[in-house]
Amino acid sequence: MKTLIILNPSSAKGKALEIRELIESEFKKLELNYHIHISKNLQDIIDVTKDNLKNDFSNFVAVGGDGTIHYMANVLAGTDKNLGVIPTGSGNDISTSLGVPSDIISCCRIIKKGKIKRLDLGLINDKYYYLCIAGSGFDSEVNDLANNTRLPLKGPAKYTYSVYKTLVTFRSKKFFIDYDGNRREIYGMMIVAANMPMYGGGMKITPDADPEDGLFDICIIKRMSKLHFIKIFPKVYEGKHIGDIHVEIFRTGSFSIDSEYRFSVFADGEYICKLPANFKIVPKKLNFIVGN
């Protein structure tokens, strides 16, 4: 079984060469047949994955963060290829949700073991797949800030900073949602359609979301005072915000969102489109090499 490793140097915290040497050393010890490619940019990640679909690679391994996984998954969706990860990003929520540790040696052993799960994927506007969580509203404003901040922050610290900075000027908006024959207007802060439990470097926004159950976990954060938001926000890292009266969670297989404000939609931390947006679950769409 041959493995194509795509290493995203921009997510390797300036240690791409060290990571490459360690991965190659471990793959050789494990007697794995591989080829490694150092990506030039996001488009190169997509192109290299596409160009090798017809070659004899069975495993495609992302060495990067959630964004690297996201773009490779969009190419591999619906194929019989296996997607794996050696996480080197700032958040790594996808790998954490799937039981893949941050330790490189352990990840190499997981790839050698080759335990596969066939995962559901979210699909936005019948065009863009995602693995983890898509959202719009306050969280998309936070994502935009986190992706563009010049401060030397990583993981939870970067997202926490972005949350509080965004909160200073953010105002709740009217959302229009449609699901299972229900049409509702809600004044809220944000709405997410989740296929996995966490995003933003460990925020368990939908703690019971399962990428194998054929359903989204929808989380709506309704309008609340800024003081109340500051009070409940820390609870999201343990998933304990869900008991708050301003938080609503339910499950559905398809969902649409619009708003009086043209919010962006982010999925797996990547910009996708502007509202309105339609979401649907596509069951058992992607093979993923998991840790548990």
| pLDDT value of position 228 | 94
| pLDDT value of position 158 | 78
Would you list the domain boundaries of the chain?
A: 2-114, 130-281
Read off the DSSP letter of residue 230.
H
Q: What is the pLDDT of residues 273-284, one digit of tens each?
A: 999 999 999 999
* Contact in structure between 264 and 276 (CB atoms under 8 Å): no
Non-local (6+) Cβ contacts of 84 within 8 A are 3, 59, 60, 61, 62, 107, 110, 111, 288, 289
Q: What is the pLDDT of residues 71-115, one digit of tens each?
A: 999 999 999 999 999 999 878 999 999 999 989 999 999 999 999
Non-local (6+) Cβ contacts of 141 within 8 A are 166, 170, 263, 264
* Residue 143: band (very low, low, confident or very high) from pLDDT cuts 50, 70, 90: confident
* Averaged pLDDT for residues 192-221: 96
Q: What is the mean pLDDT of the chain?
A: 93
Specify burial of residue 243 (Cβ count, 10 A radius: 0-12, 13-18, 19+). exposed
Q: Domain 130-281 is in which class? A: mainly beta
Same fold, 2-114 and 130-281: no
pTM (two decimals)? 0.92
Angle at 13 between CA 7 and CA 115, to 5 degrees: 45
Domain 2-114 fold: Rossmann fold (3.40.50)
Token match 């936070």: residue? 142
Residue 215: pLDDT over 90: yes
Instruction: Determine what percent of the chain falls in helix, strand and coil, rounding each to the nearest 5.
Output: 30, 35, 30
